[in-house]
Structure 1
Amino acid sequence: MLKRWSLVFLVFWLTACGERPVEQIILPETDQRQARHLRLDNDLQVVLISDPRVDKAAASLDIKVGSRQDPRDRQGLAHFLEHMLFLGTEKYPDAGEYQTFVAGHGGSHNAYTSFEHTNYFFDIGAGHLDDALDRFSQFFVAPLFNAEFVGREVNAVNSEYQARIQNDYRRTLDVFKELANPEHPFTKFTVGNLATLLGGRGEEALRQDLLDFYKKYYSANRMTLVVIGRESLDELQAMVAPRFSEIENRGVKIKPVTETLVDELPLRFELKPHKELRELSISFPMPNVRQQYHKKPLHYLGHLLGHEGEGSLLYVLKKNGWAEGLRAGTSLEYDGGALFSIDVELTPAGLAAVDVVTDTVFEAIALVQERGVENWRFQELVDNARLQFNYRTRPSEIHEASQLAHNLHYYSPSDIIRGDYAISDFDAELIQSLADQLTLDNAVIAIT
């Protein structure tokens, strides 16, 4: 009885101190779970999802900091920090304790670093969430970054780089970065290797730069947390709030990127792949419209250009024997800009006639510019999105937690689950203004 009343008092105390729901989270009609959004007193946003039926609980913490913040003379530092973070804390100093605990209770763990995000996530047998969160939270409160592991993890990062050095996607990306504006942070080397991380300056200097990076950017106001468990929302809140409120809020603010992604347009380049691959990719630098997610103007354009029905661009290309598939939509989004891309999977005949295929793509774009921006087409997307949301196939808990933690940086808390499907406001002028930027003079054309 004492334990139960202690929990009730803790929840009351947390609510009184400001950890309270901010907005009601919209769930699909078929989703019987309960969800709650909180903003802790250190400005860390939290979403809790209670599902008594889950066999595995999961959590993800996403930091809106990534390779974009790497110093030019330490490229790969954000990724290296991701590796070093899991190697002991003041409360749990054993470097492998967290990993052993998660694996020993039926779980898994991982993390990734991208241009603007670092995302940490795990799942575990549902009955062990409380203890796992106690370990997980400490990585963002008091990590050790022990010097003895610096050399080992630099080599681990370098091995990761070497293992994917022949990947055709990475090779295409590397070529694009070489041709893009060198002042744009996207051109930095994301993964890191021995040369970029150590650079002849030694492990002690690298560790100091790592500590400086952590203290400068790992701030509660840049973090979002999603926890999914079988406990009630009040019980989940009692697990999360006291632990993650200890993360320091350093008030970090990062301005949007102002540099142009590509200085000289149009840009055309060719690559010879290692594997059998034939692709035409046409990309257009665009403004960032991610905050206008209820309008989804680039999604609308991608829907029209990526349509597969009779009379579509892909239909014409297939009819001529030039293409096997086509994708159209946003390929890159960041604070300050975006890339809209049309990727055509070519047949051997399509590769031989790639200039004609390119002309056909621009003919389809011209049709969209002239006659494509219409309200009835938009309403079709609205209806389809509503059905897709209400009857969506829910991902595993670990993947959903990771995805939602990322989404919370961009969608209102009420739309954290619905945001990818939220489309309601037809803005013909905005759509037309973006469609008019899909021109040859604004294109990056890659032929693989």
Structure 2
Amino acid sequence: MRLSSLLLLSLALIIQYIKSNELRDSNNAADDPKSYDPSKIELVEENLEKSVLDDYQYRVIKLPNGVEVALASDPNALISSVTAAVRVGNKNDPKDFPGMAHLCEHLLFMGTKKYPKENEHVAYAMERGGNFNAFTALGRTVYMSEIHPKYQYQQLDRLAQFFIEPLFREEIIELETHSINSEFEMYFTQTLKARFQLFNHALSHTGKFPVFTTGNRQTLFSEPRARNASTKQALQDFFNKHYVSRNIKVAVCGNESLDVLQEWVATTFGRIPDRGPTDIQDTDPFADMPSYHFTYYNPFVSNLLTLAFMVPSMGVHYKSTPMHYLDYVFSYLGSDAPLYRLAIRDLASDIDIIVVPYSDNYDIVLVSFDLLDYGRAMPVEVIIEFFRCLQFFKEYGVNKDVFEDIMNAQRGQFKYSPKKSPPGVTEALALNLLHENLPRKHLLNKQIIKEYDEDEFNELFSALQPDKFVSFINLPGKTYNLTEPYYNVTYQRALHKETLIELLKRVKAPTKVQFPPKNIYITINSPITMEKLNSVS
């Protein structure tokens, strides 16, 4: 027994030694042991509000170079994940290079000084049980990667090098414009993409929206070459201007302790050069814009009328998230509700409200109506009815029962929501870090109503004004004088008549608009515990 015990102990020590060597080889943060000084790292937040089923440990820190990082630790995690969100997107494209933000996203995967092979980060992750993804939106570009925890440090180092010294090689740039062109051709038949492209292109003359979000070979290679412009130089200039440390937010999740994860991000992302404070001019693009009305024809889109507004983002309105309330009361299907009032007059059969992030401080709200016969003939009546209902909700004030129903339902759903996967939690954390006004304890529940805040509702109603919206309507059978050149959608731009704007400013609210009834099935007085759940089973 004694000999066998010694043999088992020896075997265990050998296995532990082998594993520790493997981990040192793969997760080796000791490139420069003196480079890590925990006293230089600012602790931002440790107590994030989270679900009762969420057993991650969290910490939010700021590195000396200004990169803000959210850490999540779970000793039982079977996969590690990292997301880097950069405060730059399609709306930052140079005027002469539509699609530049998208091209930059592609090129960062195509080699860095430390890891010069093309797609090395992708190959490294895929060969070790991982994955990767990235996307470019109006105001953000996001890079996501997951991998076996054994290789997490190397994963972090490879991704950090994207923002330290990428190689923008001429021949690779040309090849990637083919890839982007293929992506554009894939989107060509997607009606939602075509609608959003028309929205951006039609407003691009204001300088606040991109000409062409995706880009293609023509805009990124052929046309620049024809005018003797260097795509490589434009790409380098774009990167140097926008990919600065203080525009980068990172979230990391793994099975190491928070202290170890902190050291790893400090010795990887902490090496991104600090070029000083960034000048963020985040203003309302609709503030000085005329109230445009666009008529277009797309045979693959139903007869939609869409009203677009610019409102404070949920990162600003994080207390009451008033757009949730407005969406709820407008989408109610009962008698005398807004949709009933539209349908009974043969104006519209459906209302759909979509919120699209524009920047840290602003969201685009798209209110779309599926028009019926009279609505197609008289779309102005749909607009008037919408503003009449909006005026009712403004004058009535917030319905206490409806607000509390939404708040309690959201709180209950969040409180008992399942624990997110590592990729899910890092994506949510990194994206929410971009909102500088959001208290870091709310990184996981940004969209959940926390309390009633009258100022947030007043600010929302102030943004939904008759002289602060643009409209789009799809109408067949007419000839239009303008063409969106990439999806070939014909359209016409005009201004809403001053008489209509003045009418909408003086519009009278209906005597009654029906609110949703109180939901008797929502309760906050019967907390669920794991003991109760287990006793049922």
TM-score by length of 2: 0.73
Q: Deviations over 1:219-249 (max 9, x none)?
A: 1111110111122222222322211110111
Tell me whether 1:113 sits opposite 2:136 in the alignment.
Answer: yes
How far residue 60 of structure 1 moved from its aligned partner, in angstroms, is 0.5
Q: Deviations over 1:345-372 (max 9, x none)?
A: 4567875775655454333223212214
Tell me whether 1:233 sits opposite 2:258 in the alignment.
Answer: yes
How far residue 91 of structure 1 moved from its aligned partner, in angstroms, is 1.9
Identify if the C-alpha distance between structure 1 residues 323 and 398 changes in structure 2 by more than 3 Å, giving closer, same or farther. Answer: farther
The one-letter code of the counterpart of 1:51 is D
Question: Does the CA contact (< 8 Å) of 1:50 and 1:230 recur in 2?
Answer: yes
Tell me whether 1:17 sits opposite 2:40 in the alignment.
Answer: yes
Output aligned runs, 1:2-401, within 5 Å.
14-18=37-41, 20=43, 22-180=45-203, 182-198=205-221, 199-201=223-225, 205-251=230-276, 252-257=278-283, 259-260=285-286, 263-265=289-291, 267-275=292-300, 277-286=302-311, 290-308=315-333, 311-316=336-341, 325-328=350-353, 330-334=355-359, 337-346=362-371, 357-401=382-426
Q: Which has the larger radius of gyration?
A: 2
TM-score by length of 1: 0.87
Identify if the C-alpha distance between structure 1 residues 150 and 10 changes in structure 2 by more than 3 Å, giving closer, same or farther. Answer: closer
Tell me whether 1:405 sits opposite 2:434 in the alignment.
Answer: no
Unaligned runs of 5+ in 2: 1-16, 475-537
Q: Supply the distance in 2 between the matched residues of 1:248 and 1:29 (Cα, whole angstroms).
A: 39
The one-letter code of the counterpart of 2:428 is Q
The one-letter code of the counterpart of 1:330 is V
Greater mean deviation of Cα atoms: 24-33 or 305-314: 305-314
Q: Supply the distance in 2 between the matched residues of 1:174 and 1:442 (Cα, whole angstroms).
A: 21
1:423 alignment partner in structure 2: 450
Identity across aligned pairs (percent)? 27
Greater mean deviation of Cα atoms: 231-240 or 368-377: 368-377
Q: Supply the distance in 2 between the matched residues of 1:151 and 1:375 (Cα, whole angstroms).
A: 58
Q: Supply the distance in 2 between the matched residues of 1:206 and 1:359 (Cα, whole angstroms).
A: 48
Question: Does the CA contact (< 8 Å) of 2:71 and 2:251 recur in 1?
Answer: yes
Q: Supply the distance in 2 between the matched residues of 1:248 and 1:446 (Cα, whole angstroms).
A: 44
Q: Supply the distance in 1 between the matched residues of 2:468 and 2:244 (Cα, whole angstroms).
A: 37
Question: Does the CA contact (< 8 Å) of 2:53 and 2:419 recur in 1?
Answer: no
Q: Supply the distance in 1 between the matched residues of 2:381 and 2:206 (Cα, whole angstroms).
A: 34
Identify if the C-alpha distance between structure 1 residues 262 and 194 changes in structure 2 by more than 3 Å, giving closer, same or farther. Answer: farther
What SS does the aligned partner of 1:226 have?
A: strand
Unaligned runs of 5+ in 1: none
How far residue 319 of structure 1 moved from its aligned partner, in angstroms, is 6.9
How far residue 207 of structure 1 moved from its aligned partner, in angstroms, is 0.8
Question: Does the CA contact (< 8 Å) of 1:56 and 1:229 recur in 2?
Answer: yes
Identify if the C-alpha distance between structure 1 residues 276 and 218 changes in structure 2 by more than 3 Å, giving closer, same or farther. Answer: closer
Question: Does the CA contact (< 8 Å) of 1:59 and 1:227 recur in 2?
Answer: yes
What SS does the aligned partner of 1:245 have?
A: helix
Q: Supply the distance in 2 between the matched residues of 1:54 and 1:321 (Cα, whole angstroms).
A: 55
Question: Does the CA contact (< 8 Å) of 1:80 and 1:153 recur in 2?
Answer: yes
Greater mean deviation of Cα atoms: 386-395 or 435-444: 435-444
